[in-house]
Amino acid sequence: MPIHEFDLIRWIRRHAGTGKGVLVGIGDDCAVLDPGEGKLLAKSDAVVAGVDFTPDARPRLVGRKAANVNFSDIASMGGRPKFLLATLCLPPHLPRGWAQDVVRGIVDGCRGAGAVLIGGDLSATSGPAVIAVTALGVADNPVLRSGARPGDAIGVTGPCGGSILGRHLTFQPRIPQGLKLAAIATSMIDISDGLTADLDHILDESRVGARIESRRIPIHRDARRLSKKSRRTALDHALTDGEDFELLFTTPEKLFPRWATRIGTITRRRGLTLDGKAIEPRGYEHILG
């Protein structure tokens, strides 16, 4: 690592590109930025070898995931991604080109989100690779988890479940959808822990409850494929798998957008019900199983 560090930084500097709002990019002590109008959003999230990806995962997809999990959080506030910083902690004896491919994937993610790689850090480690990312964005009116009100409709931007079959690496963060929802949503979150677990975060922060209906839950075909092997229902996968990176949101009933899928309603009474029966957001399989 020490021998290649400065070469790799030079290589990254060439591949990082540039963009509006980047006054000084990679190469000085700090990046200098003009984020433009709106409130500043900041999010850090890391992916770790052996935890968030397997050693045989394609490094370009690993880098892309590291960027996109952060952009998904910016999308879930109704924000616009602008800048990304990436810290790579790399073990010795990585396959040739592995670090470059991770950076290529990070840049893929940035391009897809309209953001720019502006800085980061390279470090050696004796353990598994860690890719720690910070994304910055802007939003005029950030949508928090805490604004859901009784009577609000609950919606999701796409089908869920079975992301482990590949989508957890290749998903597209729902940035355009988040921007559209920013004008109408009372609360929003991206589905990373699982549909019911993330809905529970909204319920907790908003101090409300919810009822959802199983026939309305959009189930991804990956959830159906996985259910054939897992001995769990496709619905169970859709409700609990996580890493779908769809947006889960609430809006006033009359403003609910046609293009999203309505799955339920916010209630004054705390707790979560599925088809009228109380369920636990976590350990969901235990109850369904």
Quote the least distance from Cβ 124 to its own copies, whole Å: 6
DSSP 49: B
Task: State which residue, 90 or 274, has the beta carbon closest to its own copies.
Answer: 90
Task: State which residue, 101 or 205, has the beta carbon closest to its own copies.
Answer: 205
First to last CA, the chain: 48
Any bridge partners for residue 153, and if so which? 251, 265
Task: State which residue, 191 or 234, has the beta carbon closest to its own copies.
Answer: 191
What number of other Cβ atoms are within 10 A of residue 275's Cβ? Answer: 10
Cα radius of gyration rounded to whole Å, the chain: 20
Residues contributing to the site for its own copies (CB under 8 A): 23-24, 27-35, 39-46, 48, 50-52, 73-74, 76-77, 79, 83, 85-87, 89, 91, 118-121, 123-128, 130, 132, 134, 136-137, 139, 142, 144-146, 188-190, 205
Quote the least distance from Cβ 215 to its own copies, whole Å: 29
User: Residues 144-157, buried b or exposed e (16+ Cβ, 10 A)?
Assistant: bbebbeeebbbbbb
> How far apart, in whole angstroms, are the C-alpha atoms of residue 209 and residue 270?
4
Backbone dihedral region of 268: left (phi > 0), alpha (psi from -120 to 50 degrees) or beta?
A: alpha
Quote the least distance from Cβ 74 to its own copies, whole Å: 6
Any bridge partners for residue 120, and if so which? 86
Quote the least distance from Cβ 205 to its own copies, whole Å: 7
Quote the least distance from Cβ 204 to its own copies, whole Å: 10
Task: State which residue, 77 or 260, has the beta carbon closest to its own copies.
Answer: 77
Task: State which residue, 7 or 276, has the beta carbon closest to its own copies.
Answer: 7
Task: Confirm if 25 and 31 have CB atoms less than 8 A apart.
Answer: yes
Quote the least distance from Cβ 233 to its own copies, whole Å: 24
Task: Confirm if 137 and 82 have CB atoms less than 8 A apart.
Answer: yes
> φ, ψ for residue 22 (rounded to 5)?
-95, 100
Task: State which residue, 66 or 153, has the beta carbon closest to its own copies.
Answer: 66
Quote the least distance from Cβ 245 to its own copies, whole Å: 12
Reported as half-sphere exposure (CB side, CA atoms, 13 A), residue 127 has a value of 6
Task: State which residue, 10 or 216, has the beta carbon closest to its own copies.
Answer: 10
